[in-house]
Amino acid sequence: MTATTMAWERAGLGDPLVLLHGIGTTHDDFAAVRAQLAADYEVLAPDLPGHGQSPPLRTRPTVAALTDVVAADLDALGLERVHLLGNSLGARIALELAWRGRARSVVAIAPSGMQFPLERAYQGLVMGATRANLRVFRRWITPLAGVPWGRTPLLATLRARPWDASETEARAVQPGFAEARRFWATLWWAVLADVPTGLGDIDCPVVLAQGTADWISGGQTPRFLAAVPGSVFRPLFGAGHAPQSDAPATIVSLVHEATSRAKEQ
């Protein structure tokens, strides 16, 4: 087995399930669901390029380029087709992998790429402000993450109930938003300037989901229904943009739904 480019965490046994986080965080953004998923799947969770322990891309960090790295790492791990759970940019990469024939099933939570121009500008403003604020206060992230009231300002843009998130999830914004390398290039090329193509060729089960309290994505997730054949949409009631700790049981059930549909094909 050859070496991977990204840093990966692996746990559990079963069919391979890859977790892909969004911009500004790390694989620890899935801490609320990872253990439960590892009871049924072999869970593989990377830090995307430039985040956490993974080096940044030297080339333009478009969705295609980021997907190239994920696909190459899957090859290095000996994995041809995997189940995918992604959030935000990670969900967009999951759909790109599905278009390339690398997915057995996909759960895509608030995937980026279908924003209208004003929505893109708004999302860029929110993500950029979060980056700027957390860089200024990055020395306080660790102590704030240790208490529920401190997790609220750290995760307010991502969670509907940030105080319910774990310390692990909150601390992920330090190697993410506060310290991610090439953050601005990734925000521009992979989120704000990205326009999905080829989604009509996806032939695996796709479950789309978005929190009803997600005030970052607007109404973009249901727009993927018309682009992805056979996809279904599931609202996550009362959940935010990155709702892993807002609705962990529901997210796990969505993964089971998608993987069960894949077995029926």
Residues 233-265 pLDDT 10s: 999 999 999 999 999 999 999 999 999 999 988
Q: In this model, does residue 2 exceed pLDDT 90?
A: no
Q: Which residue has the tokens 């999302």?
A: 123
Q: In this model, does residue 1 exceed pLDDT 80?
A: no
CB 66 within 8 Å of CB 23: no
pLDDT of residue 265: 81
Query: Measured between alpha carbons, how far is 207 from 174 in angstroms, rounded to an integer?
Result: 30
Query: Measured between alpha carbons, how far is 247 from 210 in angstroms, rounded to an integer?
Result: 11
The DSSP annotation for 132-159 comes to HHHHHTGGGHHHHHTSHHHHHHHHTTT-
Q: In this model, does residue 34 exceed pLDDT 80?
A: yes
Q: Model confidence over 10-31: pLDDT tens digits?
A: 999 999 999 999 999 999 999 9
Per-residue pLDDT averaged across 5-9, rounded?
98
Q: Model confidence over 197-216: pLDDT tens digits?
A: 999 999 999 999 999 999 99
pLDDT of residue 50: 98
pLDDT of residue 218: 86
Instruction: Give start and end residues of each alpha helix (H) in 42-188.
Output: 63-76, 89-99, 117-136, 141-145, 148-155, 167-171, 183-186
- State what percent of residues in the chain have pLDDT above 70: 100
Indicate yes or no: pTM above 0.95: yes
Q: Which residue has the tokens 């995307």?
A: 48
CB 196 within 8 Å of CB 67: no
- C-alpha distances out from residue 257 to 40, 61, 82, 95, 264, Å: 13, 32, 15, 17, 11
Q: In this model, does residue 98 exceed pLDDT 70?
A: yes
Q: In this model, does residue 122 exceed pLDDT 80?
A: yes
Per-residue pLDDT averaged across 56-68, rounded?
97
Q: In this model, does residue 131 exceed pLDDT 90?
A: yes
Rounded to the nearest angstrom, the gap between the alpha carbon of residue 50 and the centroid of all alpha carbons in its chain is 14
Q: How many CB atoms lie within 10 A of CB 249?
A: 10
Looking at domain 8-264, its CATH class is: alpha beta
Q: In this model, does residue 97 exceed pLDDT 90?
A: yes
Q: Model confidence over 157-175: pLDDT tens digits?
A: 999 999 999 999 999 999 9
Band of pLDDT at residue 71, cut at 50, 70 and 90: very high
From the CA atom positions of the chain, what is the Rg in Å?
17
Burial level of 8, CB count in 10 A (0-12/13-18/19+)? middle
pLDDT of residue 248: 98
Report the mean per-residue pLDDT for the chain: 97
The residues pairing with 85 across neighbouring beta strands, listed in sequence order, are 19, 107
